[in-house]
Every structure is written in C-alpha cells, then in structure tokens.
Amino acid sequence: MADGDKKILVVARYRKTEALRMASGLTLLDDPVSVLVCGELEPSEELDVQLESLDFADVPLQRVVDEGAVTQALAHAVTQADVVYII
C-alpha cells in the first residue's frame, strides 16, 4: 500500500448486491477495497456478476452469516479501514 492510500471497507448489510456493485466501482480508484457481507446472500444473476467482478479484482470478501458474530467482525473490520460505507 502506497503512502496516501486509504483502506476502503464496504459493508454489505441491507442492499447486498448494490453494495457489491459499489465495491466493484471503487476498485477503479488506487485505494485498496475490501468487503464484509453480513448475513446470507440471495442468489441471482446480478449477484454472480458482482462476485465475479470482485474476485477478478482480487478484492478481499469476508462473509459473516452468524448474526452473533456480525458485531465482532464489523468492529474488527472498521478498525482496519480509513473509509467505511455501509449499504
């Protein structure tokens, strides 16, 4: 990571496919992007496209399905980021 880079975290909590789309767009910046998905992902073609795009861009994606573990995962991820988007 170069000086001046901001670590960007996108939290997919409510509108998950939209959050993944946004994370894909943020990869066009020079800043590193990571994604935390809270809860289950509902399968769809659009979701598959976004997941493939993030995989292609080597964006780290963490999934937390257990609601009891979401708070801890979210707290840890937020402390590691400079910018956080919760969608």
Residue 3, in any domain of the structure: no
Would 53 be classed as within a structural domain? yes
Q: Supply the pTM of this predicted model.
A: 0.92
Nearest to 30 by CA among 12, 10, 7: 7
Task: Please give the average pLDDT of every successive group of 10 residues along the chain, which has 87 residues.
Answer: 83 97 95 97 96 97 93 95 97
Domain membership of residue 2 (yes or no) is no
Looking at residue 8, its pLDDT comes to: 98
Total tally of structural domains belonging to the chain: 1
Residue 65 to residue 87: CA distance in whole angstroms: 16
Which range marks the domain in which residue 65 is found?
A: 8-86
Q: Say if 1 falls within a structural domain.
A: no
Q: For residue 28, what are the CA distances in angstroms to 16, 40, 57, 75, 81?
A: 20, 27, 10, 26, 18
CATH number of the domain to which 39 belongs: 3.40.50
Inside any domain, residue 29:
yes
| Domain membership flag for residue 58 | yes
Q: How far apart are CA 17 and CA 87, in angstroms?
A: 9
Task: Give the C-alpha separation, 58 to 65, whole Å.
Answer: 21
